[in-house]
Structure 1
Amino acid sequence: MIKFDTAGFRSEFQLDIVNLENQGLRKVGRWETNVGIQWKPGYRIPGVDDEKSLRDKHFLVLISLTDPYGMLKESASMTFGNDRYEGFAIDIIHEMSKILGFNYTFEVQADNAYGSLNKTTGQWNGMLGKIIAGTADLAITDLTITAERQNAVDFTSPFMNLGISVLYRKPTSAPPSLLSFLGPFSKDVWVHLLAAYIVVSMLLFVIGKLCPVEWTNPYPCIKEPEVLETPFTVMDTPFFVIGALLKSPTGFAPAGISTRALAIAWWFFTLIIGSTYVANLAAALSTKSVMWPFKVAEELAYQQKIKYGAKKGGSTLSFFKDSSHEPYGIMYNYMMDHADEVLMEKNEEGVWKVQQQNYAYIMESTSIEYIKQRKCNVTQVGGLLDAKGYGVAMKKDASYRTDLSGAILKLKENGIINELQHKWWKQKRGGDECEISYREEIVEELKFLAKCSSKKIIKRRKTSLETIKSNSTDS
């Protein structure tokens, strides 16, 4: 039956797609108004779709709502299906589907569990449990490739390389002390300066005693005095030497050639030392010294003031469990003994705890980099504890593993992975929140000078949202 819509065009019909071959016309698919093109299984367009071996494949892809890998899309209009989600992992699947031609449907892991092995039952939970059970085809998020997980499922080539590091709040400036004035010089310099002062004082005292010119008549009215005096006494000579060092007049000057030569050498020395001290003091006052409670992760194992933890059941915790390094073993025992207090269900909980308490959260470096761009009061402490990668998980011995890995390698070679990382780390959702654009500041200053205005708006550095909320709550 032929149907027409209100505009007079045909509706609800289908077209056969045929291909001209040596043997004649061959039907390779059909097109329907409500479905679109449906190719026959195994058909490829020569020269165009040779690489799309997964054309007729439909994947159920598990994701987690973890920034920036998977997030609910911010939209004023109602969205449905895959359009509800956006993020780094979402874009990677989309780019892979463009290369391989497969279809996909996203499903959110409700409990946000990636997958860990229950030693008692031998069963996997979370995303990997669904992959093994066959209820899902793929899983992509900040899912770390580990040896234990590779025994249960297959992974593609890593789409991102990273390591474990420590997230901690930015250290505060060191408070001034009573001995801050000694900061411009090191301890060795002060010791040598004191030794030089003592030696010069002794030499000047001895030379002043031996030089006849330094002995003068204290009573000018008496032409032939019986007693002569010298200003270079045990009390006055050190005062003369320290006066030259502090640029203070002492009231007398050497008269003999030998004493003057020594005094000139000392004055030149004090000129260099004084200028260097003032320059170093100005630099020390302009730059605030920072107090780091710890500089490497291993130091956390041998202290009691800072609490530390990781994500519960994650690969980071497994790293400490399997490590043979003594400090890491101590850290793992501490985290398990205080699991209710230091192990987090989500990374967001760990970040909040870092901002509000004296707590260090151990997590992947890529996540730390993402958080640093948006939380201005936290930073990464120390280097990487290991080297690993994120991959797309699938069922063991899946036939399409090679195709998916090849697609990821192409995305890397084409620079698309780097573009997506820059997009979601530094552009979208508040990226570069804590970065200072000096170019924009210079432009604003030039505009202000051009206006010749007598009023100026003060711009302050942005702080993180959690810090603002905390301050308003406390008040």
Structure 2
Amino acid sequence: MWAWCGWLVAVHAVAAVSPVIKIGAILTDEARGGSTELAFKYAVYRINKERSVLPDSTLVYAIQYIPAGDSFRSYKKACHEIKSGAVALFSSGGPTLSRSLNALCRSLNIIHLSSSADTASQEDNDPDSFTVNLYPARQVMDRAFADLTAYLNWTRMGVIYEDYGYGELNIANIAKDGRDMYCVRASHEYRRALTLLKAQGVTHIIVDTDPKKLRQLARAILQLQMNNENYHYIFTSFDMELFDLEDFYYNRVNMSGWRLVDRDSDKVKDTLLVMEKFHPIGASILTGGHIKTEPALLYDAIQVLAMALAASKEVGPTNASCDDETIWSNGKDIMENINKIHAHGLTGPIQFQNGVRTNFSLQLMRLVGGEKGGTVVSGHWNPGDGLTITDPAAYKRDPPPNVTLTIVTVEEKPYVMVKEGWNLQGNARFEGFCIDLLARVAAQAGFAYRLRLVPDNMYGARDPDTGQWNGIVRELVDRKADIAVASMTINYAREAVIDFTKPFMNLGIGILFKVPTSQPTRLFSFLNPLAIEIWLYVLAAYILVSFTLFVMARFSPYEWSSSTHVCGHETKLLTNQFSVCNSLWFITGTFLRQGSGLNPKATSTRIVGGIWWFFTLIILSSYTANLAAFLTVERTVLPIQSAADLAAQNSVQYGTLNGGSTMTFFRDSNIDIYQKMWQHMSTTSPPALVSSYEEGVRRVLQGNYAFLMESTMLDHRVQRDCNLTQIGGLLDSKGYGIATWKGSPWRDRISLAILELQEKGVIQILYDKWWKNTGDVCNRDGKDSKANPLGVQNIGGVFVTLLCGLALAIVVAILEFCWHTKKNASHGRQSLCSEMGQELRTAMRGGSS
């Protein structure tokens, strides 16, 4: 793993090295049992096992733990290790811990190896320092960030930091060239810090905070919607590649950072593979198969010390002490050897000057989104050559000028149509709404184009079994085309693998159905204004009222009249005008609004007549009003009214376009009705899915088939064929957009062009041109209304009123009978019962003398 220069290959002084060499480590409490401690132990294990660097010596270690930021306790722990014979101290826990050990080790000539950014030791570059820091020097890192921001042309930026002077950057060094910089401290309140930067209109931000708090920062970015293509974040941590950035894969936000451990190097991969197999701690050192920067630095620090010890002429036990300030005699010799090292470790090339690392290589990482999102290498930087960008297009938002793009489409009326009967070539072969729109967008965005049809004539659907796409989507994913212009619906699945512009048209899913044939006129159509049950009730009422009138007339004394005939003697006869026939005739005449020549005399019979007149008034008025509607309005009855009706029946077949977004909508829907409809469409025989819209419309016209299609195409068909109609409302809401491959620089330009065309009304003009002003629009007669038969719920109250009137007439007739009987009984001096009996007999016989 280590590549040595020629002067260090021959190590001849190892015989003078002590057989047991003790080293010490001062770590923070939170590092206990973590990957940093385990990497330290593993590095010692590898040195002792391989014996290639220290063949005759064994390293032994002791680890001390202190609270973070406790300088006093770190001093005491370090003195304890030095007194016990440690020839070197390792630290990893931030600049506070590193600085507390710098002065101590310098005064005692004890080697101190650090893996933290320590500004004091690095910036002083003291030739008498005994501190070796494998972390890149801070002033050198400032140059790296300055070069990157200059390349990105960041003249105005923000910096989010936790504690000034304790991060990876020296803000003053970056800002000294006069650029506009806003620095916001955010110990825990990332939302407040981002809000302040957003209020200032800052979109370029350097994040110089603890990587452990990334989750809080990511949540604040999403909450404030600072995650679009206008924002660019640069992380100072070397472990950006290991961050969980999945929330930002699909919103085109820019994120960049440096990487110190070249995880793509074969030597690094081999070392980590061996490390991972080391049981039981190997897997715990790594994160997802990769090692973090801090453990890697500490691992390299052990290797650096081992090499320096091997190159030393003599390494004896330490006799240094904090009490009497006795220095270690071999410390200066080992420090000189460390400054001569040229090697290559997990963190790349290693070289020191006065303990400061001067040679290293950084890889520039950039976040890419999409289904296989993650970080990719876009360049590299080193102190000698500076910044080199290997993917210039990665940070360029503007597309190249004077370019001819390949555009694919699908033939579909009225969006894209191939001209027939014309000997045309190239783009001139096509016409339609999308063709006109494309010409105007190209003029706005500034590109030429070559137009062709997609080979399989499919818009693009993902196969759930293989995960492969077809149609237009496949062409864009494979970069065989630059742009797709068609009636292509924007949905989640497609947006995950390709990009869409702003929608140029909004629509939904509708149901296309054939207009039912009008019902033929029947001989007895005059009966249609009233439901059959109403006619039956009217007949029953006719019989009931006739019978009631007859009984009431016989029962009431006032309906009887007397006459005298002389045929040898006088005879007094009682007669009643309401016989059975006369009662039926009276009811019939009044029902038909004609006279009958009969007039009730008794109050009870007049009540019956009056109630019947009221009843006939309502019935005849309702009949007359509804009769006009039934005789003048053409009645069409649709067997289905909505998608729920389709799902609940099996007589009418229904389907949609195979491989389109409508099919995907039903296939992936979680709504029960739509799931049931998809089950029917995908399993019915003959197949319900069609290969083109033309086939779907043809099946609708053949009858007994409903076609689920997008509302804009449905509207176009309905306006041109009077035999077609739309059923119900829209099932969803979505839009058509122009598609590009993921990350295409043309997306934003085309979106702006579409917005401008919409604001100027150009797109509406094109819609009217291809939908309404083509000259083949169907002229409908407008007879779409329908009159419904009147049911019991409409005029049932008339029958209630009739029954109440009949009951009242009966009560009055009884009262009349009783009153008349009592009157006759008083005059004839008979009992009331005998008189009633006589009157009943007279009523039943039909007369009396």
* TM beyond 0.5: yes
In the TM superposition, residue 181 of structure 1 has moved relative to its aligned partner by 4.5
Structure 2, unmatched stretches of 5+, are: 1-397, 783-849
Change (3 A) 1:251 1:102: same
8 Å contact 1:171–1:290 — kept in the other structure? yes
2:420 paired with 1:58 = no
2:675 paired residue number: 329
> Which has the higher relative contact order, 1 or 2, with Cα contacts under 8 A spaced 6 or more apart?
1
Deviation at 1:266, TM superposition (A): 4.0
How many angstroms apart in 1 are the aligned matches of 2:765 and 2:564?
Answer: 91
Structure 2 SS opposite 1:342: coil
Structure 1 distance, partners of 2:570, 2:537, is: 45
Where does residue 358 of structure 1 map in the other structure? 704
Aligned residue runs from structure 1 range 308-457, under 5 A: 308-338=654-684, 341-428=687-774, 430-435=775-780
TM-score (norm 2): 0.42
The partner residue of 2:426 within 81, 93, 105 is 81
| Secondary structure of the structure 2 residue equivalent to 1:341 | coil
**536, 542, 553: which one pairs with 1:208?**
553
Q: Give, in angstroms, the shift of residue 87 of structure 1.
A: 0.4
Counterpart residue identity of residue 375, structure 1: D
Q: After the TM superposition, which of the residue ranges 311-320 and 269-278 deviates more from structure 2? A: 269-278
Q: Note if 1:142 corresponds to 2:487.
A: yes
Q: Of the two, which has the highest radius of gyration?
A: 2
AA partner of residue 390 (structure 1): Y
Alpha-carbon distance change, 254 to 435 in structure 1, aligned in 2, over 3 angstroms: closer
CA contact (8 A) 1:138 1:392 kept: yes
Q: What is the identity percentage for the equivalent residue pairs of Structure 1 and Structure 2?
A: 41
- Aligned residue for 1:330, secondary structure, equals helix
CA distance in 1, matches of 2:559, 2:755: 88
Q: Is the 8 A contact 2:565 2:572 kept in 1?
A: no
Superposed CA deviations along residues 408-451 of structure 1, whole A, max 9, x for unmatched, are 122222211111111101122x54134469xxxxxxxxxxxxxx
Is 1:68 the equivalent of 2:414?
Answer: yes
- In the aligned structure 2, how far is the partner of 1:211 from the partner of 1:228? 13
Cα drift, residue 290 of structure 1: 1.6
Tell me if structure 1 keeps the 8 A contact 2:441–2:753.
yes
CA contact (8 A) 1:57 1:103 kept: yes
- CA offsets 1:275-319 (integer angstroms, 9 cap, x no match): 431231121111122221111122222322211111111111111
- The CA deviation at 1:137 is 0.7
Q: How many residues align?
A: 384
Displacement of 1:66 in angstroms is: 0.7
The 1-side partners of 2:468 and 2:444 are apart by 34
CA 270–129 in structure 1, closer or farther in 2 if over 3 Å, else same: same
Deviations 1:72-97 (A, max 9, x none): 23576x33321221101111111112
Between the aligned partners of 1:220 and 1:400, the Cα distance in structure 2 is 117
**AA aligned opposite 1:114:** Y
Q: 1:149 to 1:171 in 2, by over 3 A?
A: same
Q: CA RMSD in A?
A: 3.1
In structure 2, give the amino acid aligned to 1:368.
Answer: L
Deviation at 1:324, TM superposition (A): 2.0
Structure-to-structure mapping, 1:1-150, within 5 angstroms: 55-73=401-419, 78-150=423-495
Q: Which amino acid letter does the alignment assign opposite residue 648 of structure 2?
A: Y
More displaced 10-residue stretch of structure 1: 343-352 or 397-406 = 397-406
Alignment correspondent of 1:32: none
- Aligned 8 A contact 1:164 1:385 in 2: yes
- The alignment partner of 1:344 has SS state of coil
Among 157, 177, 184, the residue aligned to 2:502: 157
Of 578, 590, 601, 1:244 maps to 590
Deviates most, 246-255 or 103-112: 246-255
CA distance in 2, matches of 1:112, 1:339: 24
User: Equivalent residue of 2:438, what SS?
Assistant: helix
CA contact (8 A) 1:425 1:431 kept: no
- Give the 3 Å change call, closer, same or farther, for CA 224–171 of structure 1 in structure 2: farther
Q: Which moved more, 1:201-210 or 1:307-316?
A: 201-210
Q: How far, CA to CA, are the matches of 2:723 and 2:771 in structure 1?
A: 17
Aligned to 2:510, what secondary structure does the other structure show? strand
1:199 positional shift: 7.3
Residues 159 and 412, structure 1, Cα contact 8 Å, conserved in 2: yes
Match of 1:241, SS state, is helix
Gaps of 5+ in 1: 1-51, 438-475
Distance 2:685 2:663 in 1: 11
SS of the equivalent of 2:630 reads helix
